Amino acid sequence: MPDGQWVGRAPGRVNLIGEHVDYLGGTVLPCAIDRFLTVRGRPAERWTVRSQVQGALPYAEALGEELGCPPQQLEVESTVPPQAGVSSSAALLVAITAGLRPEWSGEKAAVTCQRAEQRATGVQVGVMDQFASALGRQRHALLLDCATLDYCLVPFPEELLIAVLGSGVERALADTPYNLRRQEAESGHLKRLRHVESELSRVAQFASALRAGDLRQLGSLLKASHRSLRDDFECSTPQVDAIVERAWSAPGCLGARIMGGGFGGSIVALLARASEAAFSQALVGVPLLLCETADGAYAGRAGRP
């Protein structure tokens, strides 16, 4: 562990497909994105955080307990927008871990950060966000088996951009039925399991379509994923559905779906490069973040937890 000042940096993430399957040990397909959070720290008498990311202190304190490290004074700079569905919390935790434990493998860092987020929020989050932030690679998606933590990189087409759309519905997952949906899926609820099983099939098909460069299939799978999340997992909202349907009909959009825990939050869409202006015009009034894939904090540093 550094004795003096240290720096850690980690990206946000987008989950292309594989929603509400990570905590059930399913396979997911996220990627790190080119929005980064940088933490500068040094030992202190107590944990303090200076940041525009609100609520960061409980995360840092929880991570300190997981790492078994003394208190630190942290300064955070970030281009990962908070409450935009791109996992600023995972980026914060992974960045701190990268600064304090740079010798760790990405897998070990991700699992430790997952435990810290569960401790800080009371939400039983899966491990996907932390893995993507730690081990994502530029121009690739990360196909991750959340049961075994085995993963492989899947090429991401250069002719595509990732768009993240804000629904305007802000919520803390702890204040939504997120944990209830998880419990229902784990206990064998018919509709929840129907989503899980169909989504796992879509993940495999999506990875194959990425490898084959089948852009039309990518769009079809995103649309099918949203319908499943809306109808079987029941974690969408009318406001989200309306934005998704606007995106589906916008110029250059292959497909779009609700992303993350649901009940508001964000929508992910894939766009043909050079269609950004027309797409933005069609979605006027909707917050839009255009992203590309990026390297994670521990990119290329494999190992076991």
Specify the CATH class of 160-291 in words.
alpha beta
Q: Which of 89, 229, 206 is nearest to 143 (CA)?
A: 206
CA distance 128 to 205: 19
* Angle at alpha carbon of residue 192, lines to 191 and 193, rounded to 5°: 90
Q: Which residues are catalytic?
A: 129
Which residues does 79 contact at the CB level (< 8 Å), separation at least 6?
Answer: 35, 36, 37
Q: Which of 108, 101, 118, 97 is nearest to 39 (CA)?
A: 97
Q: pLDDT tens digit string along 63-101?
A: 999 999 999 999 999 999 887 788 899 999 999 999 999
Q: Where in the chain is the domain with CATH 3.30.230.10?
A: 6-155
- Local mean pLDDT, 10-residue blocks, the chain (305 residues): 88 96 93 98 96 90 96 96 86 98 96 96 87 97 96 97 88 71 92 96 98 97 98 94 97 96 88 97 96 94 56
Write down the pLDDT at residue 111: 96
- Could you tell me the fold of the domain covering 6-155? Ribosomal Protein S5; domain 2 (3.30.230)
Q: Which two tokens stand for residue 86?
A: 């791109």
Cα-only R_g, the chain: 18
Write down the pLDDT at residue 263: 79
Q: Where in the chain is the domain with CATH 3.30.70.890?
A: 160-291
Write down the pLDDT at residue 264: 82
Residue 162: strand pairing partners: 270, 291
